[in-house]
Amino acid sequence: MSQDPRAAAAKPPVLAVTRIPALYMEGLVKRYEVLDRLQDTDPAAFAARAPHIQAVAASGESKLPAELVARLPALKIVSVNGVGYDGIDVAACKARGAVVTHTPEVLNDDVADLAIGLMLSAARQLPAADRYVRAGDWAAKGPMPLARKMSGARLGLVGMGRIGKAIATRALAFGMSIAYTARSAKGELPYRFFPTAEALAAEVDFLVVITPGGAGTKHMIDAAVLKALGRKGILVNVARGSVVDEPALIEALEQGVIGGAALDVFADEPHVPERLKALPQVVLVPHIGSATTRTRQAMADLALANLEAFFAGRPLPSPVPECR
Ligand code: NAP
């Protein structure tokens, strides 16, 4: 399809700082001249364009370090397609006068659904059961070993924000008791608060991690928390890989310190340690918390709405809290 070069030239440039999710990219290329990872693919062209780049598009997993921000003197907006923005140096963006936006709320249902799915998968050993049938073990060996019951069990949420609350609502339908830890107690919620993850872990059967990543939560789930969770306890991480001390988790699983784990996020994505893959009581999925077509479209729409508002001089729909 031929494109009018004048129309293309009129499109404002947007730097896609890392690989951008497909639905966000589709919307971007319709409206903007997308400089796709130009800082990596063509450093000379990037140096020529950088002084005029006002907008950056990013995903929830993107890294935008201070060094790259420093090379973008005209930067005004970083629109993240995701609710987590721990890879973005927000302080450096703010110092430049740029606002960071993200996509809260629209993914709550999907991430909460996945958390429940992972809890069930780990407790009822669904991936192992699937493998059991496919391998012919059912016919050869008889019934599988008995699994763990989830309904009525005790759930502990590390993080009680938008997604944490959505997980709690779903868990109530399973007759689970709900307790949580967060930076502060939420008096308006009918759930029991614990001041630390370790104190919470000691009182629950399932510990589900749903905080932001970044320095404030790094390795919050450490060997002591896992020991408190105990040999029947199940850890589910749908937050960020950085929140869990991964080597300590592997050690705890190998030694039977905890009963099992189900993980959507990892310390060094997309690389998953072989020792983790070797453990049968662990369920592993490739960071799919928000990965349904409807939700990814809603996220892309909101990320694009932030860019559109910026270029039209309107208030931004969803700046991150630090930029409000
Ligand atoms: P949110 O509404 O900001 O909630 C975050 C919760 O974490 C809050 O309850 C907060 O406590 C708590 N928290 C923050 N720092 C903490 C700390 N140092 N110690 C203890 N608790 C802390 O965020 P959300 O929308 O629920 O999203 C949470 C995170 O989920 C995102 O930031 C992202 O990293 C992750 N996520 C993952 C996927 C995926 O694909 N797996 C998808 C979407 C989101 P207070 O309430 O006391 O402030």
Q: Is the CB of 290 under 6 A from ligand 1?
A: yes
Tell me the average pLDDT across 238-258. 98
In this model, does residue 7 exceed pLDDT 80?
A: no
Same domain, 218 and 307: no
Same domain, 180 and 258: yes
**Tokens 């201070």 appear where?**
66
Same domain, 88 and 128: no
Q: Select the more confidently predicted residue: 108 or 7.
A: 108
Q: 210 C-alpha to center of ligand 1: Å?
A: 5
Q: For a pLDDT cut of 90, what percent of the chain falls above it? A: 97
Smallest CA separation from ligand 1 atom 32, residue: 212
Residue of 154, 203, 287, 308 with catalytic role: 287
Q: For a pLDDT cut of 70, what percent of the chain falls above it? A: 97
Q: Is the CB of 208 under 6 A from ligand 1?
A: no
Domains held by the chain: number: 2
Q: Is the CB of 161 under 6 A from ligand 1?
A: yes
pLDDT-derived band at 6 (thresholds 50, 70, 90) equals: low
In this model, does residue 10 exceed pLDDT 90?
A: no
In this model, does residue 282 exceed pLDDT 60?
A: yes
Instruction: Give CA–CA dist 100/122, Å, rounded.
Output: 36
Strand partners, 33: 13
In this model, does residue 1 exceed pLDDT 80?
A: no
Encoded tokens for 250: 């592997």
Give the pLDDT of residue 8: 52
* CA nearest to 295, candidates 111, 160, 169: 111
Average pLDDT across the chain, whole number: 97
Same domain, 190 and 248: yes
Same domain, 169 and 23: no
Helix or strand or coil: residue 53? coil
C-alpha torsion angle, residues 157, 163, 167, 172 (rounded to 10): 100
Encoded tokens for 243: 């929140």
Do the beta carbons of residue 21 and residue 296 sit within 8 Å?
yes
Alpha-carbon distances of 160 from 156, 157, 187, 208, rounded to whole Å: 10, 7, 12, 10
Do the beta carbons of residue 264 and residue 272 sit within 8 Å?
no
Question: Please, what is the Cα angle at 63 between 165 and 38, to 5 degrees?
Answer: 135
User: CB 189: neighbour CB atoms within 10 A?
Assistant: 15
Among 163, 170, 207, 238, the mutation site with the greatest number of ligand 1 atoms within 8 A of its Cβ is 163
Tell me the residue range of the domain where 217 lies: 108-284
206-242 confidence digits (pLDDT tens): 999 999 999 999 999 999 999 999 999 999 999 999 9
Write out the H or E segment, with its range, that includes residue 193. Answer: strand 192-193
Same domain, 86 and 167: no
Instruction: Give CA–CA dist 240/87, Å, rounded.
Output: 11
Q: 139 C-alpha to center of ligand 1: Å?
A: 45
The alpha-carbon radius of gyration of the chain (Å, integer) is 22
Given the CA of residue 82, which atom of ligand 1 is nearest to it?
A: 43
Alpha-carbon distances of 170 from 113, 117, 157, 238, rounded to whole Å: 8, 11, 12, 15
- Note if 271 is an active site residue: no
Given the CA of residue 291, which atom of ligand 1 is nearest to it?
A: 40
Report H helices in 230-322: 246-254, 274-277, 293-312
Same domain, 188 and 41: no
Q: 102 C-alpha to center of ligand 1: Å?
A: 13
φ, ψ at 101 (rounded to 5°): -120, 155
- Note if 269 is an active site residue: yes
The CATH number of residue 262's host domain is: 3.40.50.720
Same domain, 168 and 244: yes
* CA nearest to 31, candidates 1, 62, 4, 10: 10
Q: Is the CB of 104 under 6 A from ligand 1?
A: yes
Give the pLDDT of residue 198: 98
Tell me the average pLDDT across 22-50. 98
Give the pLDDT of residue 30: 98
Same domain, 37 and 164: no
Q: Is the CB of 159 under 6 A from ligand 1?
A: yes
Give the pLDDT of residue 2: 43
Helix or strand or coil: residue 110? helix
- Note if 240 is an active site residue: yes
17-35 confidence digits (pLDDT tens): 999 999 999 999 999 999 9
Same domain, 100 and 126: no
Same domain, 93 and 225: no
Encoded tokens for 71: 């090379």
Among 103, 118, 208, 210, the mutation site with the greatest number of ligand 1 atoms within 8 A of its Cβ is 210
DSSP result, 220-283: -B-HHHHHHH-TT-EEEE-S-GGGB-HHHHHHHHHTTSSSEEEES--TBTTB--HHHHT-TTEE
- Supply the DSSP symbol for 315: P
67-125 confidence digits (pLDDT tens): 999 999 999 999 999 999 999 999 999 999 999 999 999 999 999 999 999 999 999 99
Same domain, 153 and 266: yes
